[in-house]
Amino acid sequence: MLEILFLLLPIAAGYGWYMGRRSIRQKQKRSRKQLSRDYFTGLNFLLSNESDKAVDLFISMLDVDDDTIDTHLSLGSLFRKRGEVDRSIRIHQNLIARPSLTNEQRDIAMMELGKDYLAAGFYDRAEEIFLNLVQQDDHSEEAEDQLIAIYQVTKDWLKAINIIKSLKRKRQQSLKHLCAHLYCELADEQTDPDLKFKTLTLALKQDSDCGRALLNLAKLYLAQQDIGRSKEMLHRLKKADIELFPEALTIANQAYQAKADQQAYRELLHEAILTGAGASVAITLAQHMIEQGDVQDAEKLILDGLYRHPTMKSFQHLMKMQLQQAEDGQAKKSLNMLAELVEQQIKFRPSYRCLECGFPSHTLYWHCPSCKSWGTIKRIRGLDGE
Ligand SMILES: [Zn+2]
């Protein structure tokens, strides 16, 4: 009898082990079931626009399972993208407060919290976080990008420049266009002409084709009566950024004021038209020709332009020229009315548009108010523009 009992012992032990395992598995299954049920409830809250209830539920679930950290990071990012920054801040702050987080997980959550603060306009708190993360090799590049973004919003141009200058050569190269604009912003704030020259020269050192720096230097040299250098900048601008050349027309007119410069002035404008400067430059040249008595050449220039690239601006100018020559009568009255109608249409329509996001404007912005790109707002091309 005793032998039989001994024989049954391994079977009893095996059964006990099996039952124990089954109980653990059932417990895990129940926990997972509860977890997925909670997630579904949370998602339902989100879908029915009850975001606060969803956030409370997701935060309470943080203690349940470490695997949910990625989901919480995604949710926080989703809330921030929807503009619900207070909720993303709550999620990320709760994540960071977890003592069981690894250093890597904490850094990722800190990066997200910094982005939340930036989106909410708490720039000093965001700056503090990114300045810490810049020291971490794995996150330094992203933190540097975020710091550059903060300093652009807070207009700390020099701080943004210093971050760019501290980057590796390849990344510096990719940001040279931005860096040149930052120097131009800095120059705009400076009142001392010598300092302005120095800063604009630094902008050109970053980006030798920076049309904004060339335009500002042409203006500055003109104000200093250094006509030769001003002309040099205008020629460089024509080569570097022809779309910006129409902004330099007043400067060109003043730089080439001397009687001996009239032919060179015509040549400059003519070259600019051939390079693709647009209707405004052609109209300025035509006006100059009329002032010099070359009415026929002026008309031919505008007509040629209209055949090649028809624009409302050129059409209106042609009507103005015809009006000056027309004899008084009904035909002149009708032409005058038509010219006024076209003029109103031109005034009503925006002259500039961002090439990046399509933002329309009546004035030239260097920094797009909509998409925050630098130097992407250009004069509109085509029938409504140049
Ligand atoms: Zn834009």
Q: Model confidence over 24-82: pLDDT tens digits? A: 566 555 555 666 677 777 777 766 677 777 777 777 776 646 667 888 888 899 889 98
Give 52 Cα–ligand 1 centroid separation in angstroms: 34
Distance CA 29, CA 36 (A): 10
Q: Which residues surround ligand 1, an ion (CB under 5 A)?
A: 354, 356-357, 359, 368, 370-371
Sign of CA dihedral 38, 39, 45, 48: negative
Centre of ligand 1 to C-alpha 366, Å, is 10
Burial category of 27 from C-beta neighbours within 10 Å (exposed 0-12, middle 13-18, buried 19 and up): exposed
**pLDDT at residue 15, rounded to an integer:** 54
The low-confidence residues of the chain, meaning pLDDT below 50, are: 5, 64
Distance 358 CA to ligand 1 centre (A): 6
Going from the Cα of 378 to the center of ligand 1, the distance in angstroms, rounded, reads 10
Per the CB < 8 A criterion, the answer to whether 160 and 152 are in contact is: yes
User: How many Å lie between the centroid of ligand 1 and the Cα of residue 116?
Assistant: 23
pTM of the predicted model as reported, rounded to 2 decimal places = 0.80
Cα of 189 vs centre of ligand 1, distance in Å, is 23
Q: Residue 196 has what pLDDT?
A: 96
**pLDDT score for 321:** 85
Three-state secondary structure call for residue 352: strand
Cα of 267 to ligand 1 centre, how many Å? Answer: 34
Main-chain dihedrals φ then ψ at residue 295, nearest 5 degrees: -65, -45
- Would you state the pLDDT for residue 3? 56
Q: 380 C-alpha to center of ligand 1: Å?
A: 13
What's the DSSP call for residue 382? S
Cβ proximity of 270 and 285 under 8 Å: yes
Task: Calculate the alpha carbon distances from 159 to 114, 155, 166 in Å.
Answer: 18, 9, 11
Could you identify the residue written with the tokens 């002259």?
351
- If one counts every other C-beta atom within 10 angstroms of the C-beta of residue 104, the result is 11
Predicted local confidence at residue 11, as pLDDT: 56
How many angstroms separate the alpha carbon of residue 343 from the centre of ligand 1?
Answer: 27
The CA 370 to ligand 1 mean position distance, Å, reads: 5
Residue 119's pLDDT is 95
Q: Percent of the chain having pLDDT more than 70?
A: 88
